[in-house]
């Protein structure tokens, strides 16, 4: 990719790093604000669930919108503005209900951002550039996931968190998110004023219905893989502190392990284009799911030695980071250009559903096996999704669809 496309891509990555930093600083603050206002476990759960509420309903219509109009950056700009505004609302919230409402708005902003960003990468990249494009995009999200909680912890400081302290931290997170607005606007103006030659408008008759999308070769296994990988990170983050507590591993070590996992995922996503060129998509996706499942199973074993846990966190984190950008590429390549936005949005919907259903099922496993049961469950889901993908990759029906763009170019 040269010239204008490269400038757009750099601005897109910068926008995502800044917005995701603010957003992932705000997410733990939602819980802190709720608790500081007298809320308990029920209120915290409601606020957390509210984040995904509009995502499930809005993602597919937004994906269809980008397929129909091509206005991916419109969603990105609106999402950036709403992200900053909803975090500001969180800072000003006066009761747990207002906190839950701000969480809902923040979740909707996140969907706008991701549908817009994924759709824009699929628009400006040729097919041989999709791995590198989605890899860099998800790496920028990982950077925000790493920086955001650090920002929140710095803003909160030591000691008990109160209403005023959590409000100050949310205000700082809102300011960080607002810093992305000029970047998003600049990106939209760059794309509008210095356009490359436009592709012919696609035929609406080529668009694929939502139900038919799931029947396309490769789509179902890619959705399952993406869901399994994303929820594995959530389950590990939620249950590793409990597992460590049972084994007398201190909180500092837990923070180190989670940080190493995130850093390793970031590293694998930066180099995903070269990895895919060397090993191929199907082998890497299978290795990502099955390998990270094995890593979770090792952590679930009754071991507390950091000599075992540190390399396991690094290897597991590296493998967990590989699968997500590759599933984006697989989804995009499984449908015509007229349905790429809808297919990527369907992936977001399945991820959100998985984030609700799979952790709930994992919690059941803790009744028999303790906190480690949730890790065993997630490891089993990862292994099953990897094997399903491997089986799907070997089916004769798996072939490249029409409507894909050719040509090899460099970023």
Decide if pLDDT at 277 tops 90. Answer: no
Label residue 393 by pLDDT band (50, 70, 90): low
Residue 258 lies in a domain: yes
pLDDT value for 112:
94
Decide if pLDDT at 58 tops 50. Answer: yes
Q: Work out the percent of the chain whose per-residue pLDDT is above 70.
A: 87
Residue 398 lies in a domain: no
Residue 401 lies in a domain: no
C-alpha span between 68 and 74 (Å, rounded) = 13
Contact of 407 with 1, CB cutoff 8 Å: no
Mean pLDDT, rounded, for 17-32:
90
Mean pLDDT, rounded, for 112-137:
88
**DSSP assignment of 86-102, as one string?**
HHHHHHH--SHHHHHHH
3 is written with which tokens? 């010239």
Question: Which domain-ending residue is among 140, 159, 192?
Answer: 192
Contact of 76 with 19, CB cutoff 8 Å: no
Mean pLDDT, rounded, for 353-363:
80
Residue 183 lies in a domain: yes
pLDDT value for 193:
55
168 is written with which tokens? 């100050």
Residue 288 lies in a domain: yes
Q: Are 137 and 58 members of one domain?
A: yes
Residue 226 lies in a domain: yes
Q: Are 184 and 265 members of one domain?
A: no
Q: Of 22-36, 69-83, 203-217, 356-370, which range is least confident?
A: 203-217
Hey, is 288 helix, strand or coil?
helix
Residue 399 lies in a domain: no
Domain of residue 119, CATH code:
1.20.1250.20
Domain residue limits at 41: 4-192
Q: What's 239-286 look like in SS3? A: HHHHHHHHCCCCHHHHHHHHHHHHHHHHHHHHCHHHHHHHHCHHHHHH
Q: Are 63 and 155 members of one domain?
A: yes
Label residue 394 by pLDDT band (50, 70, 90): low
**DSSP assignment of 19-69, as one string?**
HHHHHHHHHHHHHHHHHHTT--HHHHHHHHHHHHHHHHHHHHHHHHHHHHH
The tally of domains found in the chain comes to 2
Mean pLDDT of the chain: 83
DSSP 162: -
Which alpha helices (H) appear in 301-339, and where do they start and end?
A: 306-333
């Amino acid at each position: 990719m040269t010239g204008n496309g490269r400038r757009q891509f750099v601005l897109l990555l910068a926008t995502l790093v800044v917005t995701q930093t603010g957003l992932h600083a705000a997410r733990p603050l939602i819980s802190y604000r709720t608790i500081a206002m007298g809320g308990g476990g029920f209120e915290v759960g409601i606020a957390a669930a509210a984040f995904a509420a509009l995502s499930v309903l809005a993602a597919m219509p937004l994906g269809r919108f980008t397929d129909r109009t091509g206005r991916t950056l419109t969603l990105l700009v609106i999402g950036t503005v709403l992200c900053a505004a909803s975090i500001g609302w969180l800072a000003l919230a006066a009761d747990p209900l207002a906190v839950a409402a701000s969480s809902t708005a923040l979740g909707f902003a996140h969907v706008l951002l991701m549908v817009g960003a994924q759709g824009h990468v699929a628009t400006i990249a040729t097919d041989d550039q999709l791995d590198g494009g989605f890899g860099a995009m998800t790496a920028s999200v990982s950077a925000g996931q790493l920086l955001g909680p650090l920002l929140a912890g710095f803003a909160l400081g030591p000691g008990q968190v109160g209403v005023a302290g959590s409000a100050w931290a949310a205000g700082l997170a809102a300011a960080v998110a607002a810093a992305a607005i000029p970047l998003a606007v600049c990106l939209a103006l760059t794309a509008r004023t210095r356009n490359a030659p436009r592709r012919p408008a696609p035929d609406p008759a080529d668009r694929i219905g939502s139900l038919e999308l799931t029947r396309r070769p490769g789509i179902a296994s890619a959705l399952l893989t993406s869901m399994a990988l994303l929820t594995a990170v959530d389950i590990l983050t939620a249950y590793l502190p409990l597992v460590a507590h049972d084994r007398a591993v201190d909180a500092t070590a837990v923070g180190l392990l989670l940080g190493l996992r995130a850093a390793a995922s970031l590293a694998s996503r930066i180099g995903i284009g070269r990895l895919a060129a060397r090993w191929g998509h199907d082998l890497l996706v299978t290795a990502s799911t099955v390998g990270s499942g094995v890593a979770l199973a090792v952590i679930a074993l009754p071991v507390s030695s950091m000599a075992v846990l540190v390399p396991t966190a690094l290897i597991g984190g590296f493998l967990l980071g590989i699968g997500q950008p590759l599933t984006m590429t697989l989804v995009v390549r499984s449908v015509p250009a007229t349905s790429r936005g809808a297919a990527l949005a369907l992936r977001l919907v399945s991820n959100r559903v998985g984030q609700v259903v799979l952790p709930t099922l994992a919690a059941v496993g803790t009744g028999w096996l303790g906190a480690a049961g949730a890790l065993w469950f997630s490891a089993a889901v990862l292994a099953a999704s990897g094997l399903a993908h491997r089986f799907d990759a070997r089916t004769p029906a798996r072939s490249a669809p029409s409507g894909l763009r050719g040509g090899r170019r460099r970023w």
